[in-house]
Every structure is written in C-alpha cells, then in structure tokens.
Structure 1
C-alpha cells in the first residue's frame, strides 16, 4: 500500500516543492514505513509506503531501473510468481522478493504500454521518462485504486491520495454542479471521471493516461471482451474445482501477511472469504498468524440473524470475532462531522465500518470484504446475446434447458412472460422527489443506473461498468479515510471475473457455485441458508426518531442559499415528517443531510476550500 503525488512542469517553480512538501506530510500520516522523493527540472515525485506484504523487499520509490524511467505507484499484482518467472528471463535483478511496483516498471521497460495486457491486480501508477518528457499512468481494471489529476498553471498534478490535495491553493475552490447533484439525489458520485471539485478529475478504471508536451491523452486499455469462448464442462465437479482454484488464488494474492482482518456478515460472501483466508494463513504461517473477523449486528431497529450466523462461523473456524451493534453508530447519522473527508460520502461516526477500520489498525493493515459477491454470481442476460453474436446460436437454448431442468422454473418463467405480454407494466421514468428543482434534473435520471446504457447493480457486468463500485473503492482508500489499513476485495479479480462471465446460468443461480465449493469449509447451516434480506430497513426506522427529524430540519434550515436552484427547501422540510416518505426516508433525506454536514465542516475549517 502506497501513497504518491507528483507534479510535471515545463518551467521549474519553487512553489512546486513547497506544495508537495505539504502533500507529502498528508501521505506520511498514513504511509510512514518509508518516504521517498526525486526531482529534476521537469518533475517532482513524492512517495510514502505502508507495508502490507511480508514476501517482498522494502518498496523504495521513486524507483528507476536505468536512471531514466522512474515509477511511483500504489501497486499490488495478481499472479506475481508467473510475472517474476517471465520477466526474470530478461532482467537478472528480478527475484521472488522483488516488490510489485518494481516488477511493473520492468514490465513497462520490456513491453512498453502493452505491459497493461500482462498485469492485473490493484494498481494506480505513474512512470516518468526523464529523457522524453513523457508521463505514462494507468488505473486497474476495476478501479480498486484511485487516480486523481489536475492541469493548472502550466503544471500537471497527479496522485492516488485524495487528502494530499487538500492544502494546494484553489484546487478545491469550486464544486462540480453535476457531482453535487449526484450526491444530493443518490448519496454517491456517479461519474467515472469527475470528482466533486471542478479542477480535479479522476482517471476511470481500465484507462491509461499519457501527459506529453502539455497535452493529456486518455484512452481505455481494457473492456469486457466482445468475444469469449463459453466454458461448458461435463460435470459440476469441474466447475467447482476451477472456481475454487481461482478463488483461493485471489485470497492468497491479497493476504501476503500473517495478520489479517476480515468482514464476517454471516452471509455466503464474506464467510467464504474468511474461511479460505483461514486456510491460506494456516498453510503459509502455521500457528504464527492472526485472523480476526468483524461483524455488525442490529438488535433494535430491525430483526435479523446476521450476528447469530457470524458467531456460528467464527466458532466453526476457531477464530475470534468482534461484534459491533449498529444502533450505537446510526444514531449519529445527523451529527456534525468530527473529521474531514474529501467528498460527502456519509458521516464516518454513523457507521460501524469506520470504527472497524480504526480497530483493525491496532493489529493489521489488511481488511478483507465480501463486496462484489452479489453481482458476480448474478447472470447477465447480455451474455446470451453475446453468445449468439459469436455464432453460438444453440448455446443459449441449451443453457436455459439445463437451468429449467435443474431448478424447475420453466412453467413460472413462461407464465411471467405471458403476463408481461397481456399486461404491459407502466413505465415511470420520474424517480426524483418533487422537492428537487426540475430544471436541474437530467432526463430519465435514476439513483441506481447513471444512464440507460449502464448495467444495474444486479449484474456481473456492473462490476466494471457501473461507477458505484469504483466510487466505493475510492471512498474506502486510505487516501480518503485517513486510516492506516488497506481494504481488499477478493471477488474483484480479473481471472475470476472472466471465468464467471463464461459460465452458464445454472451454476451461478443462488450462488450455487460458491456454495458447493465451500461445503468443506463452512457449516451446513450456512451453506443451505438462502440469500436473506433484513426484516425492515434500519435506516428508515432510525430516521423516524423525533430527535433525528428535528436535527435534519435544523441542518436544512441553516443551509442558507447553498441549496438554491437545486432543492425547494420548504417542500423538503414538509416531506421530512410526511409518513408517505417514511419508508424511503434514508434514500431521500440522508444524501441531502450528508452534503450539508460535509459542507459545514469543510467551509468552517478550510478557508482554501470555500
């Protein structure tokens, strides 16, 4: 895990050094195992390192292989052993302990920009060519590591560490109306390439950036393949074996340390990751390892059994579990922020997740989550269309036949299609509450899908094509949270993802593939447990409390003219206590509250951010 920042400028400026000195302090607050810097008359590069791997040498960046090419980056590579073997044939300096970022620079020296076709993992990096004045940057396939940049005053600035930009004058002085509207309506940034600040941009996932002669060139280096050979095995055992090998390798690649923290919700996703992490740690370190699981449970606002199942799994795996009561945190949902976050992504003190990250730092620097399990195993109907376009005309029919034979849903599916033909459901494109200014609402705006061509969250295609996921990764990065812990996502692995996309629907349905592969590792009660939603919405229940409604009204009333042109404040205030909106109050009111609380803290504490 690393933090980096750099400035490229055609004219040497003393202010560059002063600006990056402040930014380097912000990076070192999290990444303090090593700090490095390098500068020339064209470039100034800064770096901070937080050790998260026990199997490689120390990472001293900026690193150069020839005193010309230099890299700074936040890099963790998948399948590094194969890459070490391949590149070791060309570079004698490479061995099994070569840091990932060094391998990446060697890969660039050997393959040039095509190195991106040979690597996968979590990464954002910048490679500076002092001789040609060329800067080459890229962000990983899923956007697991952020990359921010800005062009201003004949300088090009780039970083993965959002907090490092806070002290740079005027960079955050103007807000983006589009992103602000996104936050007000949905509580998230729905743009792949834009931050909430006009002058700061994001490099989208699976994109590369070249800066040369004062010009910036951005292009996509990867997308979901349009032609993919379907994987159709004769036996279920073959599917399970193939999946398990990829899944275990993903967890091995993300647990190169003997001290690991893991989310344990009680569902299949995080439970599977925790179970295999335990197996991997046992094999690699024996008894000399620490694995602690973390669970969040509700006891009052809703009825649920996640805590029970998490306890069951922890006993089965013989690992400690720390349980957090959600009500202890959600009560703070309308309280002022006590620390700054770069974008209005919520109230940290109102989430147990924030406390978990803080507690993780006391013993580990790696926290595993089960995010991505739901969409990964959700078969995308576009896959059948793709098969037909590739010439596999019969395959979709055979896949459906096996699916219906396995799960017996043929009659129900036919009935559903007939009902749709007989009675066409009305389409309501207006999903925006009436208190929003209609002139500022984009056509067909949806809080789930950023536009009509983007996959919904219930699709494995969404893992690369819906901006929710890259935004989630950005807001959990240490450069955003300020926490000295790296959150890792084993389900977001390129090899695993491409394998799943090539599978038939019957092995994905209700996570059948995952359940079968976990039979040796999890209790049968967990394996057989269906996907279970909470019995009620805890956030909506929480917002029905008188004291929280009073606080929301106070926050909105004191917003001044900040919401002018965006929201009709009197209508919004009236809606807060309207029972019609009670069940969806967390969707309608919390995003507005989060923006205002963030605005208040930002404007009150940082004069250069007003």
Structure 2
C-alpha cells in the first residue's frame, strides 16, 4: 500500500527548513495513517506518509534516497530484469531500477506511481496515465514537491494568485485541458508520463518519457487466441491490484465492474482468500426507475460475495461541501462528490484499503466506426469482406462500417455550446472562443484502426478523474485502482481488430463466459432510465451569493439568474452551467483564502 510524499530542495545549497518539511509531511497524515518519516541533509529534505505494510520511502544511506507513492505492476518480471531476489518494497524496486538504468528507469516501470530520488541530483517521475498525483512549486530558491496541492500551500511565501487558464478550462470543460497547470499559478502538476530533474548549476527540466503506442494490428489464426490472451492480461491487471488485505469493488450490474469482480473472485479463490472481497453498489430507489440493485444482486449471488447498497436518492447536490472548510483543492465539477467520499469512508470503516473500479471499460471496448475504411485503405478488400461477412453470419447484422462517420467528417461543423455568460474581457484575453473551437473538435486521428480509443486515452478527463479519487479529495486512506487502465492490457486492446471484438464488448463477454451469470453477461449496455434530479443542499440556497472575484470570470449581470434554482440535473445544459458557477464560487470563497490545516476533519 502507498501513502503520500513530500520534499524540499534548496537550489542555492542553503539548509532545508526542517519545520517546513515536518509541516508538509503532517499535511499528508490522512493518506498514510501508519506513520510518517522524514530525513534532511544539507539542502534537501524528503518525507513520506505510510499506509499499510509497504514503505513509502527508502533512505538507503547518503546520498541515495527515495520517496514513492507507488503500486507497481509486473513486480516479478521487473525483479527478474534487475536480478534481485530478496523481497523488496515498490520503493526499493524503483530505487534498484534507478541504480540500473538511471533516469531511463521510468520507461521500465508499469503501474501507478509518483516518486522522487535524491543522489546529489533530483529525479522525479509520474506514471504514464497520471493515476498518482505529483505537484511542485518553486518559491525563490526552494523547490518543493508533494502528492497534494494543499500541502504546498503551507509555504508562507507561496502566492495565492489564480491561474486564469485553469479557471477558464473548468468553466468550459470541467477540468484543466493543459496537463501541467493547477488553479494556483505558482503550483504546477507534473504531467503524466513525464519526469522532473535537477542537477547542480542547471535549471529544473521537465521531460516526456513515454507515448501512447501505435502498434501493428494483431491477427491471430485461432479465434480462441484472442480470448486466451485477453484473459491472461486481464487476470494480471486485476491480480496486481488486489493487494494483501480486504478488497472492495465498486460494482454496478454492467459488464465492466462485474467482470473485475468476477476476475478478482476467481483469483482470490485460487489463494483461498475469496472472503476478503465485497462489493459496493450505488442505486436509486425513488428518484428514477433503476434496475442496478437487481443486476448487482444477481452478480453478487453468483460470485458469492457480499454487496453493500448505497442509496443515491438520499444525497443532495453539493451536500457536505459546507463542512469542508476550504478543503477541496480545485474547483469540483461533481456536485454529488460526497457519494464517492462516503463510499471510501464505509470501506475504510470495514477495514478495507483498496477499492477496484470498472472505470475505462467503455473506452477500452469503444466501437471503431472507421475500421472497415481502414481495411479498404490497406488494400484488404478480401479481409474487409471476410470480416464483415463473418460478423454478419454470427450476429445477423452488419457491424458499424463508418459510412455515416465518414460523410459527417466531410462537413465542417462549428462546435455548439460555447457559454454566453463569460466575462468578455476575460474571454478575449485568453481567446476562449478559439480555445473552445479547438478543443471541442476531434483532433486528427493518430491511430490507424483504433483512433477513438487512442484519442480517449489522451483525454485530460482521465487524470482529472483519477485525482478526484485520491485521498487529497476524500481524506480517506483508501486507494482506488482501475484494472482497465493496465498498460499491458491497453497495448493489447489497441492492437486487436475492433470488429468483432469491440462491438458490444464481444471480447469481454466471451472471456467472462464461465465467470458471470449468463443474464449479466448478455445484458446490453444500459444507460440510466431517466435523469436523476437531486435537490440542492440547504446551504447552497442560503449561501449562493456570488463573491466579487467571480465577476473576473463571468458576466455578473446574468450570473444571479443562473445560480438560482432548487434542483440539480447533472445532464441538463443550463444546470451544468449553474453547477460549475456554484462550484467555482464556493472554491473562490472558501479554498482560495484559506490556509490548509492538516488536522481539520472531513464531512
């Protein structure tokens, strides 16, 4: 299990501030309740907050230190490459990789990680998809880093100046579209798949070490080879995320999360530990017709696991935010955020430290409507006809051929939905209409036959989502893990023929043939039957007056009419504008002027 990390480096060689380092580490106590450690020598100080049995750091003796918030995949394979046999923590494995490959070590690592190494120079890295957060700032000659943005704000000389582009992206898109920015101009985030390095008498450098691959397609002779290969990789993806203690699974009644649950149950049964798995399911009983309770119960009975139901009807929009006292590190586009926080709290109260999700399954098996065109462009008329004919014989219908997608691409369309309530000077200064047009349009395809998946995996939405599960937001030491974002699995899914395997998730359904009940396995993708309309929490209706700073970003002549209202429909466009205004107003009012206090409790 991992926790959180922090560090200070004085670039001018001045002694590191022990008191500040201790403050940074104490601010991470909620991430690692099993103790904190820190070490200083000369201009550098490292610290970590520990969760579980694995160490979050290793002070191997001057001058070689590491602090790591890490969960590695393929540990056995990495240990074999490094020729190490003794059991090592993830931090120790990373340190061994650094000894072997230097700053190239990150290219050999799989999993979720953010770490810093000191050996007279500084080297830091963040995992390829941005599951683990890493923030840094430079105040004068002091470089500071941490797992949490709020911890860095403890530096007394750090500016509270707001990054306008981050605010603009929140209002337009719900999350930053530039991966290195935060809402505070003085604090940066290390983008996914990047390293940060410093050597004496040289500037800090940021470098990319990995790109999402574009591989040649895999064509197996035997149909069963695709299923066997997928099951092998999926078993490894889930298995590497199970950990050693109790494991919870956020499980609906759909294919993605039930497949994770079924695979976890299979692997734990082989170890004789099936009893340490249970499920959490969010359901509606009154606001909308909802069949997830039925489908989740069906899967849970088949898997012989307990299931805890979380009743979503009970929650109001923005409920609990009035008790956060400035703790939301960034503007939050999720008014029902408390549901996720309560889920983590219940899991922790039951002794769990790991929560598995089915996030990413829809993207992993998204339909690629241009695959037929790809086969034709490659000169494969026979293969295209064979692929389409085989699918027609098996399913009695044609697969998606991409004809309408191709014709639509010939018509240049202006993206709709640009908000008319932004401050005109603010919008003009950042050319927000141009940014909206650019980022609302699909970029040119990079992958020849899986362009949608490749594009989705590069969407800034995912790192933002991963960070919203982080203890920086929940203040609960539960680590949320996403098996569908295993790199080994994704590289395979980027290379398989999307027809037939990604049409209606056929590969996943066939791979789960002996693990899930047939009714669940054959259940089609089922959206919510209606839009749940949640009432606003009482505090919103009594505290919705906009702060003056809000006028720097929005047109105050119309903002009052947008903020007024008593219900929150998350999918309604007008109310989506309203919820972002409420969220930004809250953040400006409570988070920006506050100084984080590590001992303050969450709702």
Q: TM-score range by the shorter chain?
A: 0.7 to 0.9
Report whether the alignment pairs 1:593 with 2:582: yes
Number of residue pairs matched by the alignment: 582
CA gap 1:471/1:459 in 2 versus in 1, 3 angstroms: same
Measured after TM superposition, the shift of residue 397 of structure 1 is 7.1
Counterpart position of 2:465: 472
Q: Distance in 2 between matches of 1:148 and 1:356?
A: 26
Query: Which of 560-569 and 467-476 deviates more?
Result: 560-569
Counterpart position of 1:218: 206
Report whether the alignment pairs 1:292 with 2:310: no
Measured after TM superposition, the shift of residue 112 of structure 1 is 1.5
CA gap 1:527/1:497 in 2 versus in 1, 3 angstroms: same
Counterpart position of 2:153: 166
Measured after TM superposition, the shift of residue 331 of structure 1 is 4.4
Q: Distance in 2 between matches of 1:593 and 1:152?
A: 32
1:464-521 deviation digits (Å, cap 9, x = unpaired): 4111101111221123431111011111111100000000011111111111111211
Measured after TM superposition, the shift of residue 191 of structure 1 is 2.5
- Structure 1 unmatched runs, 5+: none
Counterpart position of 1:303: 289
Task: Determine which of 515, 518, 521 is the counterpart of 2:512.
Answer: 518
Counterpart position of 1:527: 521
Counterpart position of 1:103: 93
Report whether the alignment pairs 1:507 with 2:501: yes
Measured after TM superposition, the shift of residue 258 of structure 1 is 3.2
Mapping of residues 98-497 of structure 1, within 5 Å: 98-130=88-120, 134-171=121-158, 173-212=160-199, 213-226=201-214, 228-286=215-273, 289-333=275-319, 336-339=322-325, 340-346=327-333, 351-362=338-349, 363-380=351-368, 402-403=390-391, 406-407=394-395, 410=398, 413=401, 416=404, 427-439=413-425, 440=427, 442-446=432-436, 449=439, 452-453=442-443, 459-497=452-490
Q: Distance in 1 between matches of 2:320 and 2:28?
A: 29
Q: Distance in 1 between matches of 2:355 and 2:405?
A: 44
3-state SS in 2 of match to 1:483: coil
CA gap 1:357/1:225 in 2 versus in 1, 3 angstroms: same
1:302-335 deviation digits (Å, cap 9, x = unpaired): 2221121111111111111111111211344596
CA gap 1:602/1:161 in 2 versus in 1, 3 angstroms: closer
Counterpart position of 1:86: 81
Task: Determine which of 592, 595, 598 is the counterpart of 1:606.
Answer: 595
CA gap 1:585/1:100 in 2 versus in 1, 3 angstroms: same
3-state SS in 2 of match to 1:491: helix
1:286-312 deviation digits (Å, cap 9, x = unpaired): 46x421210111122222211211111
Contact 1:63 1:102 in 2 (8 A): no
- Structure 2 unmatched runs, 5+: 598-603
Q: Distance in 1 between matches of 2:384 and 2:432?
A: 36
Measured after TM superposition, the shift of residue 462 of structure 1 is 3.8
Q: Distance in 1 between matches of 2:424 and 2:590?
A: 28
Report whether the alignment pairs 1:32 with 2:19: no
1:188-247 deviation digits (Å, cap 9, x = unpaired): 233311111101111111111212235111121111224x22111123221111101100
3-state SS in 2 of match to 1:150: strand
Measured after TM superposition, the shift of residue 379 of structure 1 is 4.4
Counterpart position of 1:70: 65
Q: Distance in 2 between matches of 1:415 and 1:12?
A: 63
Q: Distance in 2 between matches of 1:513 and 1:195?
A: 39
Counterpart position of 1:559: 546
CA gap 1:416/1:459 in 2 versus in 1, 3 angstroms: closer
Q: Distance in 2 between matches of 1:443 and 1:108?
A: 45
Q: Distance in 1 between matches of 2:264 and 2:402?
A: 42
CA gap 1:418/1:279 in 2 versus in 1, 3 angstroms: closer
Q: TM-score, normalised by structure 1?
A: 0.86
CA gap 1:28/1:578 in 2 versus in 1, 3 angstroms: closer
Q: Distance in 2 between matches of 1:448 and 1:122?
A: 31
Q: Distance in 2 between matches of 1:322 and 1:448?
A: 43
Contact 1:75 1:100 in 2 (8 A): yes
CA gap 1:606/1:150 in 2 versus in 1, 3 angstroms: closer
Q: TM-score, normalised by structure 2?
A: 0.87
CA gap 1:510/1:231 in 2 versus in 1, 3 angstroms: same
1:240-283 deviation digits (Å, cap 9, x = unpaired): 11101100111110112131011011111111111111122222
3-state SS in 2 of match to 1:116: helix
Q: Distance in 2 between matches of 1:394 and 1:460?
A: 26
Counterpart position of 2:601: none
1:82-138 deviation digits (Å, cap 9, x = unpaired): 1122212xx5xx42x2111101111111112222222211111111112xxx21111
Contact 1:37 1:62 in 2 (8 A): no
